[in-house]
Amino acid sequence: MKQRLTIFFIFVSFFSIAQTDTEWKKSAFYITPEILLGLTMEANDGFPDTKLQKQAVLNFGRHQENNPQEWAQRLKGAKTGLSVGITDFGNLDSLGIALTVTPFIEFKAFGSERWKMLTGMGASYFTRKFDLETNPQNRAVTTDFTWAFRTYLYYQFLSTSTLDWRVGMGYSHHSNGHTRLMNQGYNSFLLSLSADIKNPFNHSKITATIAIPKYNKTVYNYFAIRGGLGVSAFALAFNDKKDVYTIAGEYGRVYNNTFKVGIGFYYRFYQHYYDYIEENESLVQAGREFDYFKSNAWYYASNLGVSIHGEIFLNHVGIDLQLGYNLHKPAYKLDWRINEGWVNTPREISKSWVLGELDDSYKKKHRISTRLGLKYYLIGMEKSPKNNFYIGAHLNANFGQADFTELNFGYVHSFNFRERK
């Protein structure tokens, strides 16, 4: 699954840069070398000591202000591209090195040409990970591949004909998406120095001749359905990957072929929860707290919720965000009891074992779900297609704590297209 996600991100990145065919692209290309320094936050008690974190990144991308496509004109001077980086977390023996590939988009911030906001999501490969015998203190990463997320604010302090010098600060995160435990993840805060190299291959300045269409404001309604196949781990004593199945639908509006907002529902079925109940594990045995789960294992292993959706379209590519509210997720209480009490909870749990307390943190994570990812649409959104299909990769979370990693396939039907005043 993680290897497939890496390939998917590279695929999406390539098409987000190369999906147009006009000559403006040649002189719009830029390269940005970037050096970052900062802190690797402790992921767990007894985490290895770290020195200064160091990153070297190369950003390859395009300025989109002369891109004649509608999304580029609506976003007013956005940049898109691909970051390739190497990270030393400050302890090579225990934390190793991460090699990261991240598609990104950059916007103006505060309505200023000097301030920019960048966000990117991709994948990382780690040279060191948790091992009970050789690397027990580092419980941040237990898999070779992880999700990678970064968000940064930049200030351009000096501009020349060939270079834009920038300083920045931001946050980086690496997590395996709950596909294997331990999964504390890396959280880092860093300062950045970078320089945009404009038109590095000295292509002739042809952008002044590009005709930029004038787009009317438009709006149309849509409904969509999707199916997803996810993977997750349950607990240290049940640390194999099992499936999470999803069926979901939504209804909403698309504005100017660029921005989507909608409301929806989702149904999920967790194989781990079902198997725990069916196999009569400790906490569902007669006389234990969750013995009533055995009356209907399917029901108690299910999750039903409602959601709000937002998406930005870059023609074929969609940057997708969902905020959900769980109406029904009873087995998460069982999950919390096992994973948030004493560490290294065994498979056979005695009645004297201290289980997780159902505190305010539990209440938030039980009810609030989030979902972030990328989609690739068969037909570009520039065409306002009546019928469309997409494939997507998403990280699902419980109020920011990873829940499962998912590949999904969806269908979208659009109707009531009209111009707005």
Distance CA 264, CA 304 (A): 11
Residues of the chain with pLDDT > 70, as a percent, come to 91
Is the per-residue pLDDT at 15 higher than 70? no
Residues 172 and 223 in one domain: no
- Tell me which of 158, 181, 209 is where a domain ends: 209
CA 391 vs. chain centroid, Å, equals 15
Residues 252 and 398 in one domain: yes
Can you list the pairs that 21-27 forms with residues at least 24 positions away whose Cβ atoms lie under 8 Å? Answer: 22/67, 22/68, 22/210, 23/206, 23/210, 24/66, 24/67, 24/68, 24/206, 24/207, 24/210, 25/62, 25/67, 26/201, 26/203, 26/204, 26/206, 27/199, 27/203, 27/204, 27/205, 27/206, 27/207
* 285 phi and psi angles, rounded to 5 deg: -75, 160
Distance CA 280, CA 278 (A): 5
Residues 258 and 168 in one domain: no
Instruction: Write down the pLDDT at residue 41.
Output: 92
Residues 400 and 252 in one domain: yes
Residues 285 and 160 in one domain: no
Instruction: Write down the pLDDT at residue 346.
Output: 94
Instruction: Write down the pLDDT at residue 162.
Output: 87
Instruction: Write down the pLDDT at residue 206.
Output: 55
State the CATH number of the domain containing residue 130: 2.40.160.20
Distance CA 404, CA 418 (A): 38
Distance CA 278, CA 290 (A): 12
Among 89, 100, 102, which residue's Cα sits nearest to residue 128? 89
- Tell me which of 155, 189, 209 is where a domain ends: 209
Residues 40 and 124 in one domain: yes
- For 254-273, the pLDDT digits (tens) are 999 999 999 999 999 999 99
Top mean pLDDT of 68-72, 98-102, 184-188 is at 98-102
- For 32-46, the pLDDT digits (tens) are 999 999 999 988 778
- For 187-245, the pLDDT digits (tens) are 999 999 999 998 777 766 655 556 788 889 999 999 999 999 999 999 888 888 899 99
- DSSP secondary structure string for all residues of 182-251: ----EEEEEEEEEEEEESTT-----GGGPPPPPPPPEEEEEEEEEEEEEEE--BTTB-S-EEEEEEEEEE
Residues 256 and 203 in one domain: no
Report how many domains make up the chain: 2
Residues 231 and 176 in one domain: no
Instruction: Write down the pLDDT at residue 199.
Output: 76
Is the per-residue pLDDT at 405 higher than 70? yes
Distance CA 417, CA 387 (A): 13
Is the per-residue pLDDT at 296 higher than 80? yes
Residues 157 and 252 in one domain: no
Residues 101 and 166 in one domain: yes
- For 89-134, the pLDDT digits (tens) are 999 999 999 999 999 999 899 888 899 999 999 999 999 998 878 8
The more confident residue out of 280 and 136 is: 280
Host domain of residue 152 = 2-209
Confidence bin at 27 (pLDDT 50/70/90): low
Residues 243 and 371 in one domain: yes
Is the per-residue pLDDT at 301 higher than 80? yes
Instruction: Work out whether strand 97-109 and strand 259-270 pair parallel, antiparallel, or are unpaired.
Output: unpaired
Euclidean distance between the first and the last CA atom of the chain, given in angstroms as a whole number: 46
Predicted TM-score (pTM) of this structure: 0.86
Is the per-residue pLDDT at 309 higher than 70? yes
Residues 142 and 233 in one domain: no
- Tell me which of 192, 209, 226 is where a domain ends: 209
Confidence bin at 152 (pLDDT 50/70/90): very high
